[in-house]
Amino acid sequence: MSQYAPIMATKKSSTPPDYLLDMKRALEFVGDEEGVHAMMPMLLDSLRNDVPSILNLLKAGDAKAANKLLHPLKGFVPVFCVDYVVDRVTEVEVLSKTAAATEVLPRYVAVMPLLERLRVEVEAAVPPDWSNTLPPAA
């Protein structure tokens, strides 16, 4: 877990940190490893399935439906991610509540590479013995 030491960033930073997944933060937030273990498959499922679905919904012009998937994702990031990711996902989710899909889409597309990097980091952090609890890769 030490490879995921907290890296604090703010909206003022234009460069993403080396690691987006912050397991120390997750342990502090959740309180124990068992709770973190229980949440990791849900996070991974959201990253694998909801991230591309959100893009498709926004492309189809449905910001309201996209928000229904963005909202739970926004709930995961403060638990598992550095502030750099939290700031950007929160910004897009808040925008998706009131803005048209055409306004949300470019902001979401800008966040997608972070979410892809996060998915890769989460997959690398999940021990092999969790494989029976994880959703299949898309």
Cα–Cα dist 55/65, whole Å: 11
Cα–Cα dist 12/100, whole Å: 26
In a domain, 135, yes or no: no
In a domain, 84, yes or no: yes
**3-state SS, residue 126:** coil
Domain count, the chain: 1
Is residue 8 predicted with pLDDT exceeding 70?
Answer: no
pLDDT band at 127 (very low <50, low <70, confident <90, very high): low
Reported as a single tens digit per residue, the pLDDT across 11-47 is 455 677 889 999 999 999 999 888 898 899 899 999 9
Is residue 9 predicted with pLDDT exceeding 50?
Answer: no
CB atoms within 10 A of CB 23: 21
Q: What is the pTM of this model?
A: 0.81
In a domain, 98, yes or no: yes
Name the residue range of residue 51's domain: 19-126
In a domain, 13, yes or no: no
In a domain, 131, yes or no: no
Reported as a single tens digit per residue, the pLDDT across 71-97 is 999 999 999 999 999 999 999 999 999
The kind and range of the H/E element at 94 are helix 83-98
Q: What is the pLDDT of residue 126?
A: 80
